[in-house]
Amino acid sequence: MENNWYMLTVIGKDRPGIVAGITTELYKEGCYLGEASMIRLGGDFTIMMMVQYDGNEQALENCLNPVAHKMSLHLHLDKIKGKLHDHRTPDVSITVYGADKSGIVAKVATELSGAGLDIFNLESIVGGSKEKPIYIMQMEGHADKGIDILKQKIEKLTSKEIEVHLEIIDTMLG
Amino acid sequence: MLEVLTIPDPRLKEISAPVEEFNAELRLFIAELEETMRASPGGVGIAASQVGSLQRIVIVDVSSKPDITHHGRLVLVNPEILAWEGMAKGREGCLSVPDYTGNVIRAKKIGLSAFDEYGKPVSYECEGYEARAIQHEVDHLDGILFLDRLVSRRTDLYKR
């Protein structure tokens, strides 16, 4: 069972009880849960969750199908290696915000990736109003080529339209 | 070298008692505690409760960090934080919580009084990284872990 990991993806219209419904079925089936990201995006609720399970993919799907059907959720399973206890510590936090415009993520991500940024997590939100949407993105990662080159790139990215800020994450271990 | 307790060891949630006698036995324990802290890669602080000794003792030494204000090696017995100023979010990890780091809000500057390992009263004004380390360690003496003070990555940005 040790290496029998799946990544379970769940998507559906947000409603109370999705997390409880899914995790209860997994528990009853004898699954062990690993790391997960669960978040409401727009009006949908999304789950990406590591699941360790003794049986095969079909059996796992069969155990989840009734609750998925009841709550109108889409499921997807991928076989993964499922490596735990192997976290990298981020050393930078970067915030980007500005008027919502197509291409903003691609531009920022491409430039920062070129400057050595390895993104560990990224969250973004479209805020503001319907008439004046604003895009806010926050990410954490590691500056593989050093922080200076990333800072230089960020200075160039910051314009009238977008603000990009870098904050060093200096972890205190006590 | 002493064994560092990790969660969910219940001793990490206990309140430690003040030290009453400053003797050779205390100094021997402090030396072992310091050795344990220095043997932990990246560790800049430790509290006695982290090795299962429920006495109000912490050690902090952030001098390995470049370009920060600090007081070098600090042995703080019966520490009392008396003044707090400002607030800052920063990333913390803990020898007692392996493989996890999280954001915590701490005072930027603190004023504290304590005793050294010989029983001499000492007082310090600390800021930034050193102040963060001391607040983290003093929390241990009250059974508080950084996990009890976590703030969401999103909180500072999205909170209205």
pLDDT, tens digit (0-9, with 9 covering 90-100), for A1-18:
567 999 999 999 999 999
Please tell me the class of the A92-168 domain.
Answer: alpha beta
pLDDT digits (tens, 9 = 90+) for A114-168: 999 999 999 999 999 999 999 999 999 999 999 999 999 999 988 878 899 999 9
Note the pLDDT tens digit of each residue in A74-109. Answer: 999 999 999 898 889 999 999 999 988 888 889 899
DSSP notation for A83-121? --S-PPPP-EEEEEEEE--TTHHHHHHHHHHHTTEEEEE
pLDDT for the residue A47: 98
The segments of chain B whose pLDDT lies below 70 read: 153-160
The total of other beta-carbon atoms located within 10 Å of residue A88's CB is: 9
Query: At residue B144, what is the residue type?
Result: I
Q: Which helix (H) or strand (E) holds B34?
A: helix B24-39
Chain B contact for A138 (CB, 8 A cutoff): yes
Please compute Rg for chain B using Cα positions.
15
Nearest neighbour of B94 by CB, restricted to A93, A140, A174: A174
More confident residue, A64 or B67: A64
Q: Taking the CB of residue A71, how many other CB atoms lie within 10 A of it?
A: 16
Report the chain A residue with the minimal C-alpha distance to residue B135.
A174
Q: To the nearest whole angstrom, how far is the Cα of B127 from the nearest Cα of chain A?
A: 14
**Closest CB from B47, B92, B98 relative to A172:** B92
- Check CB contact under 8 Å for B154 and A123: yes
For A172, the closest of B100, B136, B154 (CB atoms) is B136
What is the model's pLDDT at position B20? 97
Q: What per-residue confidence (pLDDT) applies to A1?
A: 56
Q: What's the confidence (pLDDT) of residue A119?
A: 96
Report how far apart, in Å, the C-alpha atoms of B11 and of each of B21, B30, B100 are: 22, 19, 20
B130 Cβ contact partners less than 8 Å away, ≥ 6 residues apart = B60, B62, B68, B69, B70, B71
Residues of B taking part in catalysis = 137
Q: Which residues of B touch A170 (CB under 8 A)?
A: 65, 90-91, 129
Closest approach of chain A CAs to the CA of B91, in angstroms? 5
CATH topology (fold) of A5-80:
Alpha-Beta Plaits (3.30.70)
pLDDT at B153: 63
- pLDDT of the residue at A22: 98
Nearest-Cα residue of chain A relative to residue B138: A174
Inter-chain CB proximity A169 and B91 less than 8 Å: yes
User: Fold match between A5-80 and A92-168?
Assistant: yes
b/e per residue, A100-133, with b = 16+ CB within 10 A?
eeeebeeebbebbeebbbeeeeebebeeeeeeee
Quote the minimal CA–CA distance from B21 to chain A in Å: 26
Query: Are B92 and A174 inside 8 Å of each other by CB?
Result: yes
The residues spanned by each domain of chain A are 5-80, 92-168
- Does A174 contact B99 at a Cβ distance shorter than 8 Å? no
Contact B44 A171 (CB under 8 A): no
Q: What is the rounded CA–CA span in Å between residue B46 and residue B58?
A: 6
Give me the DSSP letters along B73-135. SEEEEEEEEEEEE--EEEEEEETTEEEEEEEEEE-SEEEEEEE-TTS-EEEEEEEHHHHHHHH
User: pLDDT at position B160, please?
Assistant: 45
- The confidence score (pLDDT) of residue A174 equals 94
Model ipTM value: 0.90
Residues 6+ apart with CB under 8 A from A56: none
